[in-house]
Structure 1
Amino acid sequence: MHSYRHDLEMLRDRRFALLLTARTISVLGSSFAPVALAFGVLALPGATATTLSVVLAAESLPMVAFMLVGGVIADRLPRHRVMMAGEALNAAAFSCLAVMLLTGWTPLPALVTAAAVSGVAIAILFPALTGIIPDVVPADRLQTANALMGLGANVSRVAGLVLSGATVVLLGGGWALVVSGAMFAVAAVLVAALRLTPAERSAAERHSVLADLRGGWREFISRQWLWVVVAQFSVLVMAVQAAHGVLGPLVAKEHLGGAAAWSAVLAGEAVGMIGGVFLALRLRPRRPILVGTCMTVPTALPYLLLGLDAPLWTIVIGAVVMGVCFDLFGVLWNTTMQREIPPESLSRVSSYDALGSLMFGPIGLLVAGPLAILIGPEPALLGCAAVVVLASLAALLSPGVRNLRAPEPAEEPDVLAH
């Protein structure tokens, strides 16, 4: 048994507290950025939806292109320095975007360049973040650390939904981007204060980037549970992107009352993600990947209810369930990766995980609109729900997914008294 009191004692650890605070502030900055950037760009003279699409694509394409390189960098260099560089790049990118919007000097190539720098920053940050947690906390506290990191991130996302909109309305998109850039800068300073001792690689261990990528690929492909779930998520994320990005808002606009209804669905998901953290702190399954994969099946619930024209309150409840399940899966997944993957390869493997899981997402966004026109948004949402369920059930056919076991929990006699 574990206790919340015992879990919260981790906050007394200076290094973990610094990392948690830095990540929470960084996610808050990230939550500000989409709203501020979208309304800031659309408010420019002559700007259209195409202008915004070009700027957003300029951020997403470098993120995908550099993700594997980010994994190599994070395995080669001290991860806190890599994270510091990523946060600093994000601060510079969004500060430049803010200056452009506030001064009115907004040539599209300059906007695209700044957005591309942010995409590179994300590609550097993500693999380093996955790898740094085992550098900061002991192995028996990994799940608690991941859950607390998730709690900070989820609270920031909810706060960002509220504060970013208010800042844009009151001050404008440019000043909201100033706030976002400042948050990234603060996160960079906090990460720099970690001062972790790097594990130096000997000259014999140093290879070319391609050799490091091949080594990371061998680690990735040698674990059936790993590549099977990543393959599952490549399909699942495609369906979720289509449903969440296009089809859900369409149904909300046509049948549920518009933006307010869709905001309620998103808020329900956010609340569920916060609740999922507390479940993740308590749950210690012996087969974490089996339990995590089972948790992806109910994530189809809000799409099923939207497709059936169910009342809004039931869809919001479905979104809460989705949030709980996705958060629980995320904690179990990250903890298992950190336990099973050698530390020297962890960031490269996490970059393959991210790339594989996200690579079909843009396809979902591209086909959602034509599919809604061809068969209607409700049938398309039912199709998305079916894809999520079938992909999850297919992953459960894998022996690696079903049989991977967590190590036996360490005895904690001081905790049992609570």
Structure 2
Amino acid sequence: MFTQDIRNAANSMTQVSVQALRIFGPIIGGLIVTSFSAAWGFGIDALTYIISLFFLFSLRSLSFQKPTEMLGKENSLKQDFFEGIVVLKEESWLWITILAFSLINIFSGGIIRILIPWLINIYYEFEPVVYGLVLSASGAGAIVCGLVFGIRQEWKKRGLLAYVGVAISGLALLFMPFVSSIPLLMLCMFLEGAGIMLFGLIWETSLQELVPEDKFGRVASLDMLGSFSLLPVGYLVTGWLAEGIGEIFTLVTFSIVIVVISILVMFNKGIRNFN
């Protein structure tokens, strides 16, 4: 949670630091697979989890202060759930976005996790390092967007701006099956990363502004539940459709659906007027 005067810059810096790793990670992974084997890649990946575990142990000493009114109060899981729902219902920007992204993540997840690797490695027959470069371009786009977003303390028309970013992301994915040039593929993923980053920063900032601090954990949990609970279904549907109607047609269809959902959401008054 950041104070209002530094919120945009702080959220941008947090996300930029995360996205910076997305630039080097895929490239290094592609080089490892190309130079050695996929087994080496999995082994090194597993080692990083073990290293991360030691950092997690250091968090055990952290303590958190509860608000005075929360001391001695124990809520059931059901109570926490419905308290979060009440907060979401008060702002159409919140509940509409969670519902919209429960669908958008199905299609974007299927594209990024299943269809893009197939497109680069099998359809275009590029080396694994090219796949790493393409994914890194997405991280680069996110970093540039994050830096630009953090420059200004305040942005107008944030509801429209956020979903314009999602639409740009969908359009970038839509063009990928029709360009075989590596620089153009990287440009598409650059725009995809920038568009999603723009939405993500506005969404994260809006949660910190609109949700009371004592309810933030409940709402954030509902956000995660709505956004990611259907991802396994999305992966299953993506594979099933790709096998039935073809990978390219599935990728194009999913990309169009992302753009259409973004446009439809922007017709809602609560989204248009969110500032």
Distance in structure 2 (CA, Å) of the matches to 1:191 and 1:142? 27
2:6 alignment partner in structure 1: 141
Residue 208 in structure 1 maps to residue 76 in structure 2: yes
The 3 A distance-change label for structure 1 pair 295 and 216 is same
Distance in structure 2 (CA, Å) of the matches to 1:161 and 1:262? 8
Deviation of 1:187 after TM superposition, in Å, equals 5.0
Residue 306 in structure 1 maps to residue 176 in structure 2: yes
2:96 alignment partner in structure 1: 228
State how 1:235-384 maps to structure 2 within 5 Å.
235-258=103-126, 259-283=128-152, 284-384=154-254
Please state whether the residue corresponding to 1:296 is helix, strand or coil.
helix
Distance in structure 2 (CA, Å) of the matches to 1:190 and 1:167? 32
Distance in structure 1 (CA, Å) of the matches to 2:160 and 2:241? 33
The 3 A distance-change label for structure 1 pair 324 and 191 is farther
The alignment covers a number of residue pairs equal to 269
**What RMSD over aligned residues (CA atoms) do the two structures have, in Å?**
2.6
Residue 152 in structure 1 maps to residue 17 in structure 2: yes
Q: For residues 117-166 of structure 1, give each alpha carbon's deviation from its aligned partner in whole angstroms, at most 9, with x where no partner exists.
A: xxxxxxxxxxxxxxxxx2xx323212211111101111233343355677
Maintained 8 Å contact 1:303/1:384: no
Maintained 8 Å contact 1:307/1:379: no
Higher RCO (CA-CA < 8 Å; seq separation 6+):
2
Maintained 8 Å contact 1:217/1:349: yes
1:161 alignment partner in structure 2: 26
Deviation of 1:359 after TM superposition, in Å, equals 2.4
Maintained 8 Å contact 1:219/1:349: yes
1:85 alignment partner in structure 2: none
Deviation of 1:202 after TM superposition, in Å, equals 4.1
Which runs of 5 or more structure 2 residues have no equivalent in the other structure? none
Maintained 8 Å contact 1:164/1:176: no
Larger radius of gyration: 1
Please state whether the residue corresponding to 2:75 is helix, strand or coil.
coil
Deviation of 1:325 after TM superposition, in Å, equals 1.3
Deviation of 1:386 after TM superposition, in Å, equals 0.6
Maintained 8 Å contact 1:288/1:336: no
The 3 A distance-change label for structure 1 pair 200 and 177 is farther
The 3 A distance-change label for structure 1 pair 272 and 187 is farther
Q: TM-score, normalised by structure 2?
A: 0.86
The 3 A distance-change label for structure 1 pair 159 and 303 is closer
Distance in structure 1 (CA, Å) of the matches to 2:204 and 2:145? 15
Aligned identity (percent) is 21
